[in-house]
Structure 1
Amino acid sequence: MTLILPKVPLCKYCGAYRFYREPDSICCSNGQICLAESTLPQFLVDLITGIDPKSKEFQNMIRTYNNHFAFTSIGMSCDENYQRRDHGVYTVRVQGQIHHYLNDLIPQNPCNRMIGIQFYFYDPLHQASYRMNMLPRLNMTIVERLVEVLEPNPYAEMITTL
């Protein structure tokens, strides 16, 4: 038997899709939060939809690129009994609340690897090489272009001017 959740109207303030029984205010606090609008750069459109070798490489590693360029990561307490991958489908059972985890803005120890938001405090000219040192399996050309694309990002600008 297939169960289908009822359709939920889009948010009347920001047009976001919502899940069944999700509160109206979860996406934009009833219109109090307004995200900066931006168009997707053609470079990203080409990487996502292209069939050339560079696009295929990006598509195969899209989660790695996404995680590598993320400001934050997911924070939660997990039931470790469900995290073993000895059989079946990988499952995460969250205990408590899910939240965004934001690393320190500056690594505590200079020998520590940079992660997340810490990359955004470096000059874009050097940021790509720092990122490549962290994950050398990524394509340098793609990393350089992604750094360029994110440079005018209003959220990155806000963070780096704090």
Structure 2
Amino acid sequence: MAARREYRDPETRHDLGPMNVACAHCGALHWIDERVAASSKHAPEFGICCNHGKVQLEGLHQPPEPLHRLLVGNDAQAQEFRSHITQYNSALAFTSLGVSDDKNINKHGPNAWVFRILGNLRHLSSALTAPDGVSPSYAQLYMYDPSVALQQRMNRNSNLRRDTMQALQTMLTLFHPYAAIYKQAYEILEDVGDVEEAEVRLRVMPGQDHRRYNLPTAEEVAVILPGDGSAGDGRDIILRNRQVNGAPMQRISDIHPAYAPLYYVLLFPHGEHGWHPDIYLDEPEKAHPQRLS
């Protein structure tokens, strides 16, 4: 007599419904089941987005042209751009993405492409001048004549549209503040001359508004010479004209406010600073508000 299989309830599809319930404080969309237990379906409250209005971040600016048109347009150029937006962003970024990803996860079946990270995600910064015989890349391209920079980007991304790449390159040169800051750092290091291991240190400081960090001014983009006794800060971005022999690319701290806009240039075309550890919760009833971190 054959053994009887153990009975199991048939699998059912779990449906959370539409994700269309807005937070009353910040407008973020949620599923209704994400509301805090103490609230009702008629007056839902959510804590995972803005902690009931205590987290108040500065809003993003309207994307400048031509980026706005490429994001919302329906013509062939806009559709091509959105199909390759990640590649365009990487070609125009100031920093490189350092990551080990799982190559095996996308080998089976026609499922949607998955980007699975193994270990830590990190952003890396190289010297402002490429070594002899090596083509410039990332921030180095912002030091070059625009026509030379465009050709280098197209050499590496021949499947992309040249007119789109040129328009986005011009836009970032005009609107992204770090294009000018990196160029200024490059000129400072050029003026120093042949002093080896001279560096420029970018340290942005919180302003009166705890949601914002101030960009460095000409006085704050300081050149550091070897042996001057300056103490390093892990949250600084250190820029050098040439890579020190044997030195790896510099890893930018993920708590630096420029960590996101230096890589995700098409998401932050105005160079809007991201998260930093000095953001405070908006708690006017407390004499000493807590840091968001």
Normalising by the residue count of structure 2, what TM-score does the alignment of the two structures yield? 0.40
Q: 1:161 to 1:11 in 2, by over 3 A?
A: farther
Q: What residue is the counterpart of 1:92 in the other structure?
A: 116
Instruction: Tell me the CA shift for residue 83 of structure 1.
Output: 3.0
The aligned runs of 1:111-150 (5 Å cut-off) are 112-150=134-172
Instruction: Tell me the CA shift for residue 158 of structure 1.
Output: 0.3
Q: What residue is the counterpart of 1:56 in the other structure?
A: 79
Q: What residue is the counterpart of 1:108 in the other structure?
A: 131
Instruction: Tell me the CA shift for residue 149 of structure 1.
Output: 0.3
Which of the pair is proportionally richer in helix?
Answer: 1
Larger radius of gyration: 2
SS of structure 1 residue aligned to 2:148: helix
Aligned 8 A contact 2:91 2:138 in 1:
yes
Q: Does 1:47 align with 2:67?
A: no
Aligned residues with identical type, % of pairs: 24
Give distance in 1, aligned partners of 2:115 and 2:90. Answer: 19
Could you list the runs of 5+ residues in structure 1 that have no partner in the other structure? 17-36
Q: Deviations over 1:90-128 (max 9, x none)?
A: 453433x43211133222242x33322121111123322
Q: What residue is the counterpart of 1:20 in the other structure?
A: none
Q: Deviations over 1:46-91 (max 9, x none)?
A: 1111111111111111111011111112324x4x7x4324336645
Q: What residue is the counterpart of 2:90 in the other structure?
A: 67
Q: What residue is the counterpart of 2:178 in the other structure?
A: 155
Question: How much is the aligned-residue C-alpha RMSD, in angstroms?
Answer: 2.8
- Which residue identity lines up with residue 48 of structure 2 in the other structure? K
Could you list the runs of 5+ residues in structure 2 that have no partner in the other structure? 1-13, 17-32, 36-46, 186-293
- Which residue identity lines up with residue 125 of structure 1 in the other structure? S
Instruction: Tell me the CA shift for residue 15 of structure 1.
Output: 4.0
Q: What residue is the counterpart of 1:14 in the other structure?
A: 57
Give distance in 1, aligned partners of 2:98 and 2:80. Answer: 29
Q: 1:159 to 1:56 in 2, by over 3 A?
A: same
SS of structure 1 residue aligned to 2:159: coil
Normalising by the residue count of structure 1, what TM-score does the alignment of the two structures yield? 0.68
Give distance in 2, aligned partners of 1:39 and 1:8. Answer: 22
SS of structure 1 residue aligned to 2:66: helix
Give distance in 1, aligned partners of 2:161 and 2:147. Answer: 16
Q: 1:39 to 1:60 in 2, by over 3 A?
A: same
Greater RCO (CA < 8 Å, at least 6 residues apart) = 2
Aligned 8 A contact 2:135 2:152 in 1:
no
